[in-house]
Amino acid sequence: MKEIIIHEVGMRDGLQVEREVVPTETKIKWINELIETGVDIIQIGSFVHPVKVPTMADTDKLFMHFTQNGVKPENVILSGLVLNEKGLERGLTCGVEMFCMGVSASETHSKKNTGMTTKEATERIIAMAISAIKNGKKVQVSVQSAFGCGFEGFIPQERVLKIIEKYFSAGIKNISLADTAGMAFPAQVEEMIESIISMNSEVNITCHFHDTYGLGIANCYAAYNKGVRNFESAFAGLGGCPFTAKASGNVCTEDLLNLFQKMDLIKDVKLDKFILLAKECEKFFNRELPGKLYRIY
């Protein structure tokens, strides 16, 4: 098993909040460039209503391009985000390899994001996850707003653990902690991870941090020191949830790669190709992007 697994979410979480819709042809080009980096997992879209999130309207088309035309190499997994049963059905039809789905620990965020309460969403997501697993798919379930909420502020850890306990009861051990509002700080991250591992030592934890308060990389380092080996990040530091109070970019992939490569933990992902893609993305959007490393090359 690799020391670190990077799940690149820029094509989904990175682009979903943008006002300008990236043409499908450009997305295909960027995905091909991501594949060339050697990154482990690429999330290329979400199955949401095209009116609510127009930047994701071509997700089905993108998956069909890469899964039905024989253009995707075997050493990368293509993931997609689903919110409901219809999204799962669409994803199964067009060849999603790994389904990501989750529940917000914040009632306010849950209702704004999915139209459901946390309890309702948990029941539906678990049923969807089981269905996807029965269809032979990889599944990752998440707790969103796991470290705080832009609407509600502090989220008690017990609320997060209660959702995770229900995942464990359903036999699901691939869990993502999503810092949707970017409110996490290292000591909080360490305590959360310790608590989850104490509940089930076989858990496979992924961490998804946003950099709202500039602590994204520090939180990744704290998570690594507590045993986490799976991280979600976005090239150029793009992104943010459009259904939270203050959308802020993800941890930047090339910045995170720089950290882990200096620690001699990642050797087979091409940092230079990520930097080139970040520069290309900056030119497309015609503005400086949140990532740091690409600006000095």
> Is the CB of residue 250 less than 8 Å from the CB of residue 211?
yes
The one catalytic residue in 94, 149, 220, 241 is: 241
Pairing outcome for strands 230-233 and 138-144: unpaired
> Is the CB of residue 121 less than 8 Å from the CB of residue 85?
no
Spatial separation of the C-alpha atoms in residues 63 and 71, rounded to whole Å:
11
- How buried is residue 20: exposed, middle or buried, by Cβ count under 10 Å (0-12/13-18/19+)? exposed
DSSP 293: G
Spatial separation of the C-alpha atoms in residues 276 and 282, rounded to whole Å:
10
Exposed e or buried b for every residue in 32-71, given b needs 16+ CB within 10 A? ebbbebbbbbbbbbbbbeeeebebbbbbbebbebbeeeee
Q: Enumerate the H helices of the chain as residue ranges.
A: 24-37, 59-68, 85-94, 107-114, 118-134, 157-169, 186-199, 216-225, 253-262, 271-285
Residues 6+ apart with CB under 8 A from 51: none
Alpha-carbon distance values, 136 to 10, 75, 150, 181, 247 (Å): 25, 18, 36, 32, 34
DSSP 242: T
Pairing outcome for strands 98-104 and 138-144: parallel
The answer to whether 252 is a known catalytic residue is no
So which residues are the catalytic ones?
A: 241
